[in-house]
Amino acid sequence: MRKPIVAGNWKMNGSSLFAKELIGQLDSHVQDLSNVEVVVSPPALYISQVLADAENISCAAQNLHDAQAGAFTGEISVAMLQDLGCKYVLIGHSERREMFGDNVEFVAKKVAAAFAGGVNPILCVGESLEQRKNGQAFAVVKEQVLSALRGLSFDPDNLVIAYEPIWAIGTGETASPEQAQEVHAYIRQVLADEISAEAAEKVRILYGGSVNASTAEELFSQQDIDGGLVGGASLKADDFKIICSAAANK
Ligand code: 13P
């Protein structure tokens, strides 16, 4: 059985005070939920603080650089994340692919660096609206998954994939549970065909894109949806608690 994960991507939001208050409210709620792993992904500056304040929540960084160290102003290495006790790292979020030059080669290098450094990648994939309209959603997602994983050896327990259709991110337009399930099942089939049966069975695949307190339960009830990567709703303690509970009840 795959244990569900709910990860809250704060993106470039929050402050030290905000993090303190939100984690204060979340941590005790999560304590009572046994069947879900709760992760928050604050701006890197707040990871240490969150980890110091949280007993039941782990952290994902929002990015890393694949190099071990060196002249890369503004960047963060996997060793630094490991040093902080950061368990996960988001890689290939569509905002980074679109705005910060994270192309398929860079994403693949980052995934390899994360595995090598002992921080679990949450590999984000997803098609644009235009690609969906043109019938390319499956091909795009397949290529994003395989270009990041081809030739890598990794423990499938340590990989998380997040399917985030770009047209559903921050738009209030959620993929229907059926639409999301269809792509999740497809990703699992791609893993089975191209990586291993074990990977298809064990890799957790999260849905992201306007998940909120009222849509979470139905999305998470789908067979191949192992939780969510949540943006806006993860900034509101009450909503995020409901989403965590929905995953725990899967
Ligand atoms: P929203 O939940 O705000 O649509 O963001 C989704 C996302 O990009 C999570 O990484």
Q: How far apart are CA 159 and CA 226, in angstroms?
A: 12
Ligand 1: does its nearest atom lie under 6 Å from the Cβ of 123? no
Q: How far apart are CA 162 and CA 143, in angstroms?
A: 14
Task: Band the pLDDT of 1: cuts 50, 70, 90.
Answer: confident
Ligand 1: does its nearest atom lie under 6 Å from the Cβ of 41? no
pLDDT for 82 beyond 90:
yes
CATH number at 5-248: 3.20.20.70
The chain-wide mean pLDDT, for the chain, equals: 97
Ligand 1 atom, smallest distance to 11 CA: 10
Give the residues across from 121 on adjacent strands.
89
Ligand 1: does its nearest atom lie under 6 Å from the Cβ of 119? no
Catalytic residues: 93, 164
Q: Locate the domains of the chain by residue range.
A: 5-248
Alpha carbon of residue 110 to chain centroid: 14
Task: Band the pLDDT of 174: cuts 50, 70, 90.
Answer: confident
Would you put residue 224 in left (φ > 0), alpha (ψ -120 to 50) or beta?
A: alpha
What would the two tokens of residue 85 be?
Answer: 């006790």
Q: Whose CA is nearest to atom 1 of ligand 1?
A: 231
Classify residue 65 by its DSSP letter: B
Q: How far is the CA of 27 from the centre of ligand 1 (A)?
A: 21
179-206 per-position pLDDT tens digit? 999 999 999 999 999 999 999 999 999 9
Q: Whose CA is nearest to atom 9 of ligand 1?
A: 231
pLDDT for 128 beyond 90:
yes
Residue 114: closest CA among 92, 97, 99: 92
- In the chain, pLDDT over 90 holds for what percent of residues? 97
Between residues 122 and 170, the one the model is more confident about: 122
How many Cα atoms are found within 13 Å in the side-chain-facing hemisphere of 67?
8
Ligand 1: does its nearest atom lie under 6 Å from the Cβ of 164? yes
pLDDT for 173 beyond 90:
no
Q: How far is the CA of 71 from the centre of ligand 1 (A)?
A: 31
pTM over 0.85: yes
Q: Whose CA is nearest to atom 5 of ligand 1?
A: 231
Structure confidence at residue 118 (pLDDT): 98
